[in-house]
Structure 1
């Protein structure tokens, strides 16, 4: 970059030098513009053309000015004409060299994520509020996990090569201290649990739907999605039979839900006497159930429900 600026200055100095020499040569030692010479004694057109080429080169270098050539000169300076042509060629050569100088390479900006990768701890699970967190020290010195509000009492001290579990509450960030360095690490909010209920049978799609059939099969699956399912309290209400949970391939809890309304037709009639007026828009009987999930650390509470639809106890 410095070399490019030096070459640009050199070109400008050369141009100014040529400009001064040109004016003196064309006007002569006597700068009295009142003297007029005959047309045949004025500057040759070739000299003017050469000067025009020179000015074009100057404009390409962003040098802005104008020159008005006085045709009333006494003698055409052949020697200067040759020098102008030579210097013009040199200017063009220098201009090309300046263009060929490569721009200074920009250094890539180091992102926050790249800085975090330089920490001596490897975060095997994201740091989350109101739950346990785990970190491993891959460095050669102890690492201290500190609360910015109370840095005198470490949340955890992780020796070199060790992994440790520690609890966080409402911190929005923690400090990892290793040796004389400190790095801040963000702590993400603990999101509320998510409950997804999915119907997994076609038995409730026909015109005749029987309680006896719905009590033999899994009608719904209920999936509980949370980053820390071990600290959840899960309850359910309604005429249901529930098995599970089992963990799916994503680590979420899955329950199988069947109807558990009445073991026989007499008990079904008893149910109709109490709840027979609860029907869907098509006039079919309906029994509701609900799943409730409470995060015992963050105190988040979520409830989701669905309905069994049927027309009679059995065929």
Structure 2
């Protein structure tokens, strides 16, 4: 008896399966089986009659096999589509978003920046010159030692962090800056020789008659001596001249004012002519020379430049 009931159920389920597949093929997802059975124009009459017979027999056995679909499924799908659309919009706005660095990354960047500063405690832009004093400014956080590459045992200077140090160089072509376990080489520039410029600042020597008395009362020449370290120059001059100075211009150059100095009286001038008559030029003017000499006492560079006074007589 039990086996017979099982066989009956098996047949019923097989018929039900075939029926559901047929309905899905004909009607789609609308699975109201009663409505399918009553719609005459949906299937052929023979199929309808056979299906109705099967339905009647199944319902007679008290079996309710109607398939119900949650009417909210479509709504839920629409809501899902709306949510997906909203997410897509958010993705569009976030595709170019760069997340802020993590705290660990920020700390690493700070450490790298500190290391970069440590690599240049003394700027390579500072100028170092041979055979003179120099100043090193340490803008770092560790002391810096300055060495001659030929002697790495004894530093030329030790510059504390945040301070500056004055030191002398001789013939070094470069120095080595050591800080911690790192080092850096900086070139040392040659010490240029002094430059002397002499400029005539009067027009009195352009006349046919040029008087000694006038040239002794005015500044006839301005002498400018240019040097990177004028304080270590020894300046001398020679000739029948009177010199005032030095003063310094806005660039730190040495300025000298030069006047003629031959005789204070006419009789003294006549005596001068007796001794220096050979200084008369072919045009009748007398010519006397003067010279300025500048010597760098450390580099031993020496420069000499001269010019000339012209005159005809003592006074008018």
TM-score, length basis structure 1: 0.62
Contact map agreement 1:123 1:136 (CA 8 A) in 2: no
Which residue pairs with 1:197 in the alignment? 198
After superposition, the Cα gap between the structure-2 partners of 1:184 and 1:124, relative to the gap in structure 1 and judged at 3 Å, is: closer
Q: Give 1:277's aligned residue.
A: 278
For 1:261-313, what per-residue CA distance to the aligned partner results, in whole angstroms no more than 9, with x for missing partners?
10000110111111121134533101111111111001111111111000000
Aligned to 2:259: 258
Give unpaired runs (5+ residues) of structure 1: 1-114
CA distance in 1, matches of 2:254, 2:126: 19
- The 5-angstrom pairing of residues 79-90 of structure 1 reads none
Give the structure 1 partner of residue 308 of structure 2: 307
In 1, Cα distance between the equivalents of 2:283 and 2:117?
59
Backbone CA RMSD of aligned residues: 1.8
| Equivalent runs, 1:117-132 vs 2, <5 Å | 119-122=120-123, 126-132=127-133
- 2:157 corresponds to: 156
For the pair 1:239 / 2:240, whether they are aligned, the reply is: yes
Gap change, CA 1:161 and 1:275, over 3 Å in 2? same
- Name which one, 1 or 2, has greater alpha-carbon Rg: 2
1:117 Cα deviation from its structure 2 partner: 11
Cα 1:263/1:200, change in 2 over 3 Å: same
Name the residue aligned to 2:214: 213
Provide Cα deviations, 1:177-224, integer angstroms capped at 9, x if missing partner.
Answer: 111111110001111111100000001001010000000000000000
Structure 1 residue 124: Cα displacement: 7.9
Moved more, 270-279 or 116-125: 116-125
Deviation at 1:140, TM superposition (A): 0.1
Is contact 1:125–1:133 with CA below 8 Å preserved after alignment?
A: no
Check the 8 A contact 1:121/1:139 in 2, yes or no. yes
Query: Are the aligned partners of 2:124 and 2:186 in contact in 1 as well (CA < 8 Å)?
Result: no
Aligned residues: 201
Say which structure is richer in helix.
2
Q: Partners of 1:209 and 1:238 in 2: how far apart?
A: 19
User: Which 4+ runs in 1 deviate beyond 2 A?
Assistant: 115-118, 122-125, 279-283
- SS of the residue 1:276 aligns to: helix
Does structure 2 retain, via aligned residues, the 8 Å contact 1:124–1:136? no
SS at match of 2:214: helix
CA contact (8 A) 2:175 2:186 kept: yes
1:311, 1:148 → 2: CA distance? 62
